Structure formats: C-alpha cells, structure tokens
Amino acid sequence: MAISIYRGNIISSRSWDELDVHERGYVVVEDGIISGVHDELPEEYEKYDICDYGDRLIIPAFSDLHMHAPQYVERGVGMDCLLFEWLNTYTFPQESRFADRNYAGVIYPQVIRDFIRHGSLQVNLFSTIHYEACDLLFRMLIDSGLYAYAGKINMDMNSPEYYVEDTEESIRETERFIKEHIDLCNRVKPIIIPRFAPTCSKKLLKGLGELCRKYDVGIHTHLVESKAEAAWARELFPMCTSDGEIYEMTGLLQGSGPKIFAHVIFPTETEDRIFRQYSAVSVHCPDATTNITAGIMPVTSLHEKGYDIAIGSDVGGGHFFGIYRQISRALQLSKMKEFYEEDYKRAVFANAFYMATAAGGRVFGNIGKIEKGYKFNALVIDNMQDEGFRIPVLEALERFCYIGDDRNIRERFIDGVRIDPDEVYRKLIEK
C-alpha cells in the first residue's frame, strides 16, 4: 500500500454553508484515497516522510460541469452579441470546423491543458456533431488523467444548413459512440448531449431517450437559459408546460447517469419537481450568462427548493477557464440580484465554494472534499499573503478566488498522483 502524507492549511466544504479548516493539518492518502485528515499526525504514521507545504492551502480540485470544448478559441470574442446572434456569428461556424479531425487534434490538447492548469480536474463537456472529433476528445481525456463526461452533440433542426444532422443518423451515431466508449475507462464516461430543445426534433429526443434507458447513461444540455429560449422551446413542444418537461416526456431522464442542466435561470414549478425527482444538477455559469445577457441564476432560492447546484465556466460564452474566478463572479452577481430584488437573499463564499468543489465533484463519485474516503483530487495553492501583513486562512482562499490565477496553483493531484499541465499537453500532441 502506497502511503503519502501532506501538511498544509487544509480547507474543504463540510456542508452548503460551512467550511472545514485544519490549519497546519495533515492529510493521509493511501493508494489515492484519503484515509484521514488530522490536526496532529497519528503515531502510526510518524515513520513516513511528510510533504510539508508550509502555509500553502490544500483544497479539493475544482469541477467544471459545463464547458464547450470546441468553443475554446471563442473565449473573450463576440461579447457584444446576445445569445442567438453569438451562436450564428461565431459558434456554429467555429464548431463546423471540427469536421476536420486534424483541426480537433490541434484545439483539444489546449483545452485539456488549460483545465489542468486552472485546477479543474473533473469536467463535463459539450463537443460537436462530428463523430471522429468527439472520439478524439474522449480518448485524449482518458490519456490526460482527468475525470470527465463527454459525448457528441445532437441537433437536427433550427440549425445552419452547414451544421445540422439527419435525425436517424444522429441517433445511430450516438448509439455507436456510447457502445464504443462506455467501457473504455472508469474515469471518463459517455453522456448524451442534445444541444438544447429548440435544435432537436421530438423524434430525435425520443430516440435519445431510448438510448438513455438502454445504456443507462446520463444527459447534459441547456435548460431555461434565457426567457427567449424557454419560450421558443414551449412553442416547439406545445404538449409540454416547461423546458424541463420536454426531456422528461421523451425519456431522457430515465438513465441512472447524471442529469446535468446548464444555467436554469428561469425554472418553473415543473422544473422544481423534476430536479428533485430525478436528482438533477443545475450548473451556474456566471460569466456566460452575463456576457449573453441571459440573467442571473437564483442560487439561494434554488438551494432552498432542494436543487443540487454546481458551477461551470461555459467557455466560450464564458471568457475564463478558472472555476475559482466563477466563485467570485457568482458572489458578485448574487449581490446584484439581492440589490435589485428585495426578497432575494444573496449567496456567501461558503455556498459558492461548495458548488465548485463538493457539489460538482459528487457527480464523479467520492470526489470534491478533503475528507476520509474521498479520492485525493486536490490542489495546493499559494497562501496569498502580503509582506508585513497576514490574513487568516479562509481569507487567503477567498483572495485566491478573487485575484489569484493558475500561477498560484503549485500542485495538482488526481487519485493521489501529481499531474502537470504542460507534460500532459506534450503527451497529447505527440501521440
């Protein structure tokens, strides 16, 4: 049994509104699994070497539960556009380029490198409609060491002529993708990805729902991202009272895999029921919904209704990879929502950190906490102190989320093994 011991300022979420702190504490890792977190090292471990990080922070790795891998080159571009203008001007032309597998082979290693660089070691990805490029991304994720859900996008209507699928072919290629990838790796799993309801016919969604049941897989899509999108979905599916009911009606919530819905800004009572009934996860993407002027997720209200809420970068609608920065953005937007809506109660730092670590990590198993029984997927962060003036440990973590960047992440661990973004990138481009 391989035993490693790390010392530092250990911070992890105990619950939605409580952080667990061990200043200058010890975390003991046995074969990649945390066997204990201690303020004083137990005598049985005294014979082992200790990796002492001094005043640096040891925290769970971040989970990015909504990101568009082919939109990597769009980050920070076209930010004057609203959603549909942005899709038609930038996104659909860019995504169509992934018909060329060689182009995917240039872009996707950069995506994976930047995930690791910014400490997002568990990810959930959109790709494109192109089988070969999606296969390449999936296999690169396996080679990288990341935990991930990935698949191919489905879209057979209300899409550009140059970037749309035949319905039967979309279902057939999705089944092929699931069958060929479902048993490749325990860390990386396929997931079904209807882009969003307005780009998918009822026939396509029902076909995908049958695959959910047949292969017991999950779903990743957008939900009530904007008022215009939600109204359009109801217009196209008049038999349903809400955006979420479309996916329920077509069987896409029947698999045991995760049900991950990005944005969820304007949920109805039907969505409230669906999220509780199916243990679905809503993903707050602060940068993206600001950039496209969609709205602000009512984070605390959703939590009170029983929603599980994680965080996503939503690159390229979002402009920055670091989930730590989405923590601070989420808090800023929550304050604005409270300012303009008297009945709304803002979120606090413990809430946002929980969403970015424990809530997102749970989608991948026992990940997202520095706690006994959890996988040691973790980051070591600079203590963020100033010369001549010191701040408490929790404030150091808060400061990192507001003003830190990838240079402040000193170590990254997956299953207890150190991982280096540049080494992974070199391996992917050489393979």
The predicted-structure confidence for 163-200, as pLDDT tens digits, reads as follows: 999 999 999 999 999 999 999 999 999 999 999 999 99
Give pLDDT, residue 342. 87
Give pLDDT, residue 377. 98
Give pLDDT, residue 98. 98
- Token representation of residue 392: 């408490």
Cα 230 to Cα 188: distance, rounded to the nearest angstrom: 31
Give pLDDT, residue 82. 81
C-beta of residue 8 within 8 angstroms of C-beta of residue 368: no
Cα 274 to Cα 127: distance, rounded to the nearest angstrom: 26
- Token representation of residue 125: 């990805």
1-31 burial: b if 16+ Cβ within 10 Å, else e? eeebbbbbbbbbbeebeebeebeebbbbbee
- What single-letter DSSP state applies at residue 327? H
Cα 371 to Cα 369: distance, rounded to the nearest angstrom: 5
Three-state DSSP at 218 gives: coil
Task: Count how many Cα atoms sit within 13 Å of the Cα of residue 21 in the half-sphere of its side chain.
Answer: 14
Give pLDDT, residue 356. 98
Surface-to-core class of residue 117, CB atoms within 10 Å of its CB (0-12 exposed, 13-18 middle, 19+ buried): buried
C-beta of residue 58 within 8 angstroms of C-beta of residue 378: yes
- C-alpha 416 chain-centroid distance: 21
Q: Identify the structural domains of the chain with CATH numbers, from first to last.
A: 3-60+368-430 (2.30.40.10), 62-362 (3.20.20.140)
In Å, how far are 175, 176, 193, 220 from 151, measured between CA atoms?
Answer: 10, 11, 7, 9
What does the pLDDT look like over 53-108, one tens digit per residue? 999 999 999 999 999 999 999 999 888 888 888 889 999 999 999 999 999 999 99
Specify which residues 38 forms β-bridges with.
26
C-beta of residue 217 within 8 angstroms of C-beta of residue 192: yes
In Å, how far are 126, 174, 316 from 71, measured between CA atoms?
Answer: 9, 21, 5
Intervals of the chain under pLDDT 50: none
